Amino acid sequence: MFSYLRNRFTSHLRERSRRRARLVSKDGRCNIEFGNVEQSRFVFLIDIWTTILDLRWRYKMTIFISAFLGSWFLFGLLWYVVAYIHKDLPEFNPSINHTPCVENINGLTSAFLFSLETQVTIGYGFRCVTEQCATAIFLLIFQSILGVIINSFMCGAILAKISRSKNRAKTITFSKNAVISKRGGKLCLLIRVANLRKSLLIGSHIYGKLLKTTITPEGETIILDQVNIEFIVDAGNENLFFISPLTIYHIIDKNSPFFHMAAETILQQDFELVVFLDGTVEATSATCQVRTSYIPEEVLWGYRFAPIVSKTKEGKYRVDFQNFSKTVAVETPHCAFCLYNEKEAKAKEKKGFDNPAFVMSEVSETSDTKM
């Protein structure tokens, strides 16, 4: 019992450590941390627009509310200062003939309300600027212009955040596992991808990167070394008609990094297969990228995907997403090298080969026999 629990705990820690080392999560988020960039923080302030767009919603809404409340309160203080300098406040006991800079400002609260009414152009009419004070007129113009800038920037950032093509990528889904089986007489790695919307992605392109740690002949260790993985789609790699789920596959030949892997050793490998799908959103013409990744535990050797497209009695095509990631075991060579040698052997059997070293000699038969 103790050994069983120890093995389960060890396997859990191994799986957890492997998940921690994952660069790209299943939903496409990159698990990477940048260190010692304090000296370059100013660069993010220069590109303030992208910085605001990349913020999470809670931070963005905090900045949104703080920008408006802060500007209203700041200009409220300035209006209070103008009223205080011009002695428009009730504590100065102004005369009946006294014309204030701003009508009906009696304190900090009323100054804040006038600041809010000015910046958001409410204009109730109870408080207004008079022509007696040039400072108040200048402050009114300055707050109106600054208010338009703040309103345009913050509302534009909210709108851009909502309409980002990253949200369109959430309706593109990949299969939970990748499978390895024969396809067209070749050993292939297959992945299924589906578009959950009826609107298409224009100019879609699918490719992959294999991330692993390699050691160069010079002894240099390269972490997260990237190897290109070419994926093929029967419908064509460019301008996919992405209305129904597609199965993309990578041919495991001599140039493939999976060529020297086998069914018995693939779980012992240390790699991460990252798959990318680039396309243009049909509705907004904005480009988007969908990402996912597969680690050795998520690559099933000797399986294929179950069919999910059928035709109804009404003549419509139906996609059953319940079987989207379902796999079926099939007979598969346990390594690509074995399949390659098997094909060579069969090809040699069909051909005849001459042996130049072979010489046929005739033997003369004699009927004389010596005793």
Q: What is the CA radius of gyration of the chain?
A: 36
List helix spans (H) across the chain: 2-20, 41-46, 48-54, 57-85, 108-119, 134-162, 166-169, 336-349
What's the pLDDT tens digit per position in 286-310?
A: 888 889 999 999 999 999 999 888 8
Domain with CATH 1.10.287.70 in the chain: 51-163
Fold of 51-163: Helix Hairpins (1.10.287)
What's the pLDDT tens digit per position in 244-257?
A: 888 889 999 888 98
Q: Two tokens at 337? A: 């090298």
Give the bridge partners for 222, in sequence order.
214
What's the rounded Cα separation, in Å, for the pair 98 and 343?
A: 105
What does each C-alpha distance from 93 to 87, 126, 133, 171 come to in angstroms? 8, 21, 19, 67
pLDDT higher than threshold 60 for residue 364 = no
User: Do residues 181 and 190 make contact, with C-beta atoms less than 8 angstroms apart?
Assistant: yes
Region of poorest pLDDT, from 80-94, 164-178, 287-301: 164-178
Q: Two tokens at 273? A: 């297969």
pLDDT higher than threshold 80 for residue 346 = no
| pLDDT attached to residue 365 | 53
pLDDT bucket at 371, cuts 50 / 70 / 90:
very low
| pLDDT attached to residue 46 | 78
More confident: 318 or 69: 69
pLDDT higher than threshold 90 for residue 142 = yes
What's the pLDDT tens digit per position in 183-211?
A: 888 899 999 998 888 777 887 888 999 99
What's the rounded Cα separation, in Å, for the pair 189 and 299?
A: 9
Please check whether the domain covering 168-349 is classified as CATH 2.60.40.1400.
yes
In the block, residue with structure tokens 């026999």? 369
pLDDT higher than threshold 80 for residue 343 = no
pTM, two decimal places: 0.69
What's the pLDDT tens digit per position in 44-81?
A: 777 788 888 888 889 999 999 999 999 999 999 999 99
Domain with CATH 2.60.40.1400 in the chain: 168-349
pLDDT higher than threshold 80 for residue 117 = yes
Q: Two tokens at 303? A: 């399986």
